[in-house]
Amino acid sequence: MSRNVLEKLMHQLCVDRAVKQRFKEDLEGLLSRYALSEDEKAMVRNFDVAAMQKHGVNAMLTLGFWSENAPNRHPSAYMKALRGSSGQGEVFSAALKHS
């Protein structure tokens, strides 16, 4: 497994409108264009930003990916996904990119 291709897709899902649109409309078709492992594809499908970071994906990309594409883009939802259901700590209204 390589974080490089996953970071490539994450970057495009932050900055490329056409890729973001295909993510919404044809996720499996989009994923087939990238040399991702099944585990990596699952991270994308499930918005598993915690697993992505453990995999080495840059945290600015996981935040951007979530802020641009997640069903619930609120920062608190991102932090919950990142910290897990048992995660503790304050959540602030941080967002590098506003939607």
For residues 5 to 34, the per-residue mask of contacts with another protein, x marking binding by CB under 8 A and - elsewhere, is --xx--xx-xx-------------------
Residues touching another protein: how many (CB under 8 A)? 30
Between vectors from CA 77 to CA 29 and to CA 81, what angle results, nearest 5°?
Answer: 70
Decide: is 64 part of the binding site for another protein (CB under 8 A).
yes
From the list 1-9, 17-25, 26-34, 36-44, the region that binds another protein by CB under 8 A is 1-9
For residues 43 to 62, the per-residue mask of contacts with another protein, x marking binding by CB under 8 A and - elsewhere, is -------x--x----xxxxx
The DSSP secondary structure of 42-68, one letter per residue, reads HHHHTT-HHHHHHTT--HHHHHHHHHH
Contacts of 13 (CB under 8 A, 6+ apart): 19, 20, 23, 64, 65, 68, 69
From the list 24-32, 38-46, 91-99, the region that binds another protein by CB under 8 A is 91-99
Contacts of 50 (CB under 8 A, 6+ apart): 81, 82, 83, 84
Chain residues that interact with another protein, rule: CB under 8 A? 4, 7-8, 11-12, 14-15, 50, 53, 58-64, 79, 82-83, 87, 89-98
